[in-house]
C-alpha cells in the first residue's frame, strides 16, 4: 500500500526538462574488492558503505569504488548503480529485517523519485554530474548469497527479486563532476518513448515479448539491442 501510494503521488518527469528537483540522493556508497570464497570469482565489491562529503565521479564511476567482476559489472554503461530507498523499505517489510543504505550494492540511494519508472535514456543532473539511465541490474547468485550472509531470508531470492521487477538503473556518466549525499536529483531530459527501467527489466527477465519495445531507445546498450533485434526477427515477435 505504501509503495502504491508513492508511485501515484511521487513527482513525475514529463517529456523534456523538469525545472525542479524530483528527488534527492540520500546516500552515496562505495566499495572495493574483498576476498570471498562464496563469490563466483572469489571476490566481490557488493559490500558498499556510505561516504560523507563530495565524491568525484568519472566516466567509469565513483572515486573510491572499484568493480570486482568486470565481466558483468562496471564499464561506461554500468558506471553508477542507483536504487530507491523506498524499495529498500519495501524489501525490509517483506524480509522482516532492516536494510541499510548501500546494502543492495547501490552507489546512489535515492529517495523521493521512482527510479524504476525512469525511462532508458533519461538524464539526471546531480551536483555537477550529468548521468544517463542506460541499463538495469539483473540479480545473480552472488546477490542471493550476500543477502543470506547478511542474515536475511534469501530463499528463492533471485526469483523473488526478478518477480518484483524494481531492479534500479545502471547509469552512464555523460559529464564527470562531483556529487554528494543531500544533492537534488533533477531530470533534465526524458525521451518520451515510454520504455522504463521496469519495462527493460521485464523484457530481459521473463517477458521476451517486450523486447521489440526496447528498439525505440536511442543509444541502447549493444548487447541488449542485439538480443531485441534477434527476437524481433524471429517467429515469436509480438507487436
Range 2-192 has CATH code 2.40.33.20: yes
Indicate whether 3 pLDDT > 60: no
DSSP string for residues in 91-107? HHHHHTS---TTTTS-S
pLDDT, average across residues 77-102: 97
Write down the pLDDT at residue 167: 97
Measured CA distances, 184 to 107, 137, 188, 213, 238 (Å): 15, 23, 12, 31, 39
Lowest mean pLDDT among 3-17, 47-61, 62-76, 156-170: 3-17
pLDDT, average across residues 184-194: 97
DSSP for residue 22: S
Q: Helix 2-9 vs helix 85-95: angle between axes, to the nearest 10 degrees?
A: 170
- Going from N- to C-terminal start, the domains of the chain cover 2-192
Q: What is the mean pLDDT of the chain?
A: 87
212, 239 Cβ separation under 8 angstroms: yes
102: left (phi over 0), alpha (psi -120 to 50) or beta: left
d(CA 239, CA 224): 18
Indicate whether 8 pLDDT > 90: no
Write down the pLDDT at residue 234: 85
Identify the three-state secondary structure at position 171.
strand
Indicate whether 4 pLDDT > 50: no
pLDDT, average across residues 115-121: 98
Cβ within 8 Å of residue 4, ≥6 positions away: none
For residue 184, give the C-alpha cell. Answer: 537534488
The secondary element (H helix, E strand) that includes residue 227 is: helix 222-233
Provide the whole-model pTM. 0.87
Using one digit for the tens of pLDDT, what is the confidence trace for 203-231? 999 999 999 999 999 999 999 999 999 99
Residue 150: Cβ within 10 Å count: 14
Indicate whether 238 pLDDT > 90: no
Residue 191: Cβ within 10 Å count: 18
For the chain, helix (H) and strand (E) counts, in that order, are 6, 13
Amino acid at each position: 500500500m505504501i509503495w502504491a501510494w508513492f508511485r501515484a503521488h511521487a513527482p513525475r518527469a514529463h517529456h523534456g526538462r523538469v525545472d525542479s528537483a524530483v528527488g534527492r540522493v540520500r546516500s552515496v556508497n562505495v566499495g572495493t574488492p574483498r576476498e570471498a570464497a562464496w563469490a563466483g570469482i572469489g571476490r566481490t565489491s557488493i559490500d558498499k558503505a556510505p561516504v560523507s562529503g563530495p565524491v568525484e565521479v568519472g566516466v567509469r564511476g565513483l572515486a573510491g569504488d572499484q568493480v570486482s567482476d568486470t565481466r558483468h559489472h562496471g564499464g561506461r554503461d554500468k558506471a553508477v548503480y542507483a536504487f530507491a530507498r523506498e524499495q529498500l523499505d519495501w524489501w525490509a517489510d517483506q524480509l522482516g529485517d532492516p536494510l541499510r543504505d548501500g546494502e543492495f550494492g547501490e552507489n546512489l540511494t535515492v529517495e523521493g523519485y521512482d527510479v524504476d519508472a525512469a525511462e532508458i535514456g533519461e538524464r539526471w543532473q546531480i551536483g555537477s554530474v550529468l548521468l544517463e539511465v542506460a541499463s538495469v541490474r539483473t540479480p545473480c547468485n552472488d546477490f542471493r548469497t550476500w543477502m543470506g550472509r547478511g542474515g536475511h531470508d534469501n530463499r528463492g531470492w533471485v526469483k523473488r527479486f526478478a518477480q518484483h521487477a524494481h531492479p534500479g538503473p545502471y547509469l552512464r556518466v555523460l559529464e564527470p563532476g562531483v556529487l554528494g549525499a543531500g544533492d537534488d536529483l533533477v531530470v533534465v531530459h526524458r525521451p518520451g518513448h515510454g520504455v522504463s527501467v521496469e519495462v527493460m527489466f521485464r523484457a530481459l527477465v521473463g517477458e521476451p515479448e517486450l523486447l521489440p519495445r526496447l528498439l525505440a531507445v536511442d543509444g541502447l546498450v549493444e548487447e541488449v539491442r542485439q538480443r531485441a533485434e534477434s527476437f524481433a526477427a524471429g517467429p515469436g515477435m509480438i507487436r
